[in-house]
Structure 1
Amino acid sequence: MRIYLVGGAVRDRILSIKGKDRDYCVEGATPEDLLRLGYRQVGHDFPVFIHPKTGEEYALCRTERKSGHGYNGFVCDFSPDISITEDLKRRDLTINAIAEDEHGNLVDPLNGAQDIANRILRHAGPAFSEDPLRVLRLARFYARFFRMGFRVAPETEKLCTEMAASGELEALTPERIWLETEKALSTDNPEQYFIFLEKTGALKCVMPDIAALHGIPEPPDFHPEGTVFDHTMLTLREISRITRNPVTRFAMLTHDFGKLETPPESLPRHEKHTEKGAPRIRAMAAALKIPSLYRDFAVKISENHSYTRLNSKDPAILDRVFFKMGGYKKPENIFILAECLTADFRGRDKKTPEHFTQSYNLVYLFNQARKITPAPVIQDGFQGAEIQTELSRRRQKVIAAAQEWLKRFWKEQGISEELF
């Protein structure tokens, strides 16, 4: 029995990345051999075992044979005569098809170490096309390693395009699509996940509403980048520079879904698009079984991401935004909204001012409004529904005063509070 460190742990060590998990592959053993050593079995179709002391995963060397449609249609063979080389050759990418023995020697039948050095993401072999999930995994690795200069090999991109055109990706379950997407949202460049999927035609198979954004034009005077998809990707890039929170990033991915509802005769203008996106977001969340935490916050951002002329907006509108965002109970929601407004403003293919004043304005106006609490209103004798009405009236009065202060402040700084 021979044990090898495999996959991501070896890849990340070569890249000098601190990895989280260490997975092992066992050559020349049977399930009974590992059970006798005290390992706990957690897989059945292709046995995976948990080490009795370290809790790390050990899998038997195996090969796979396509037997049906989709990513579940495989028959696995994990007999003890299967070599580590055979196991590595059935993996997805060459950079993940490297093993290391107990002496630190590499087993690298597909030259994955060279592809790492050359920053190339290349499919391991013809079997890649048998598993549609690998297209999404490749896109996720691309997003993760984009900042390190990795690119997808042309022949691998061509293969992904062919797989998307074949209809094979339609066999993917919502759970698997969302799992890969959620992981991608936590990478340094999540926008590259969607850009790659759109480029290969895979995006319309798994997330058609996001793909549809590519065909919708934006006003060229404000969005010279071209389409709503282009703007969304730039916005996703910008929010990812501000926060690593995947919930916030997902909200920016869907923030302009309302533009999908713009009548063709109105294009490229998108009137009142913030009022139209929620049904689309909820439909996508239902289709992909996206957690309610993501869905509900995305709806909030979609409905409240307007930042034009905040210092001149009706205070009642701003009070309603603060309320709908849940800010009076969770102030952090307003601070996150300010982050999203900044990303939305900077997510354009044009030079923008170094300082985005509207995010500061929003937080300042909110901080003044939240000083007005229910207790004094109740002490003044208001009851029932009157409490909320009076609370809103007082908050609007404070917001109006804060708006006037901001106008004077920015004028003194020589900065116009009007963005357009």
Structure 2
Amino acid sequence: MDSRSTPNSADFIQTHPGLGVLRMATLFAESQTDPDDEALGLMSAQVEAGALGGAEPSEIWPELVRGIMCPAPSKMFGALRECGALFQVLPEVAAIFGVPQLSDEPAQVDLGEHMLQALDEAALRNAPLPVRFALLVMNIGKSDSPREHLPVHYKHIERGRPRVEALCARFEAPEDCKELALLALAECERVHRVSKMRAGPVAAMLERLGAFSTSEQFHQLMTVCACDFCAHPGRSGQSYQKSALLDIAFEACAEVDNAADDQTMARAEAIARAFRSLRWSDEPA
């Protein structure tokens, strides 16, 4: 490793040793490097000595934000996991490592490693904090899915919602972070399944996602879903077709009269027309 790009152990020194562990992990996310043995040993020693025990969530949160907004947030959370700090700071997130998730090739991925890759995809897109936070926590309801059902995660939304809410309350996370995380928890997998053959459900989905009232949050959710999609092996940098499809549907609804008696039906009809045109354009000449 090039020592010029490696965080110096002197940077580890902090007034509060627990915050020093977090700051050191953040430095790896900033420099996009892996921890060397010296740094990891120092961090592990502090964790084993109980340094994080006296750190308040209100003190930890700014350090987590700094790391998650770095160019390589996976380096921060990877270092925290290696030294044992992640289990103390974010036990809900630490618990998803080693849990299988369905994928393409290979057929299963590690949920924790998938989350790290999704965070780096968000960094490549310069995504805002709510997007990155949602990717960090939206799968924490899958950590204790019944083993006989794995890699399928039945009722993970019901298990995840109170955990996300409790985590946000513990750190006093901003409301927009909490709202997007809960929305991603409930809707991300549905977005992945959206089809241009079903205009009615798409219209209902857009309304449920707040596309016509909170468009910024809707577009942030599309970024969450795109990062989640691209985090699977072999997909990094690919375009996310489901987001493009929903963008077409959203734009089609602009022609709908706001005074229409049944807006959902009117929007579904507008989306159906747009999807029919899309299907015709997909046909070979």
Picking from 36, 40, 44, the partner of 1:153 is: 36
Deviation at 1:361, TM superposition (A): 0.7
2:263 aligns with: 391
Higher strand share: 1
Picking from 176, 196, 214, the partner of 1:330 is: 214
- In the TM superposition, what are the counterparts of 1:284-303 in structure 2 within 5 Å? 284-303=167-186
Q: Does residue 250 of structure 1 match 2:133?
A: yes
Q: Say if 2:26 and 2:63, in contact at 8 Å, map to a contact too.
A: yes
Percent identity (aligned): 24
Q: Say if 1:361 and 1:406, in contact at 8 Å, map to a contact too.
A: no
The count of corresponding residues between Structure 1 and Structure 2 is 284
Distance 1:366 1:135, change over 3 A: same
Amino acid at match of 1:228: L
Deviation at 1:197, TM superposition (A): 0.6
CA distance in 1, matches of 2:239, 2:194: 15
Q: Say if 1:300 and 1:324, in contact at 8 Å, map to a contact too.
A: no
SS at match of 1:367: helix
CA distance in 2, matches of 1:224, 1:165: 37
Distance 1:267 1:351, change over 3 A: same
Amino acid at match of 1:178: W
Distance 1:313 1:285, change over 3 A: farther
Picking from 17, 21, 36, the partner of 1:135 is: 21
Amino acid at match of 2:274: A
1:310 aligns with: 194
| Range moving further from structure 2, 119-128 or 153-162 | 119-128
Deviation at 1:274, TM superposition (A): 5.1
SS at match of 2:256: coil
2:244 aligns with: 360
- In the TM superposition, what are the counterparts of 1:122-271 in structure 2 within 5 Å? 122-124=8-10, 131-146=17-32, 150-219=33-102, 221-222=104-105, 226-260=109-143, 262-271=145-154
Unpaired runs of 5+ in structure 1?
Answer: 1-114, 378-389, 414-420
Q: Say if 2:249 and 2:274, in contact at 8 Å, map to a contact too.
A: yes
Deviation at 1:167, TM superposition (A): 2.9
Q: Say if 1:119 and 1:151, in contact at 8 Å, map to a contact too.
A: no
CA distance in 1, matches of 2:132, 2:236: 21
Unpaired runs of 5+ in structure 2?
Answer: none
Q: Say if 1:334 and 1:366, in contact at 8 Å, map to a contact too.
A: no
Q: Say if 2:229 and 2:235, in contact at 8 Å, map to a contact too.
A: no
SS at match of 1:404: helix
Relative CO higher for 1 or 2, CA cutoff 8 Å, sep ≥ 6? 2
SS at match of 2:259: helix
SS at match of 2:279: helix
Deviation at 1:155, TM superposition (A): 1.8
CA distance in 1, matches of 2:53, 2:201: 43
SS at match of 2:97: helix
Q: Say if 1:139 and 1:193, in contact at 8 Å, map to a contact too.
A: yes
Q: Greater Rg, structure 1 or structure 2?
A: 1
SS at match of 1:213: coil
Picking from 389, 404, 408, the partner of 2:276 is: 404
Please, what is the CA RMSD of the aligned residues? 2.9
Higher helix share: 2
Q: Say if 2:100 and 2:108, in contact at 8 Å, map to a contact too.
A: no
SS at match of 2:210: coil
Q: Say if 2:192 and 2:225, in contact at 8 Å, map to a contact too.
A: no
CA distance in 1, matches of 2:52, 2:147: 30
2:255 aligns with: 371
Q: Say if 2:17 and 2:46, in contact at 8 Å, map to a contact too.
A: no
Amino acid at match of 1:331: S
Distance 1:225 1:370, change over 3 A: same
1:53 aligns with: none
After superposition, give the CA deviation of every residue in 1:346-383 in whole Å (9 maximum; x if it has no partner).
10123568433222111111221343243243xxxxxx
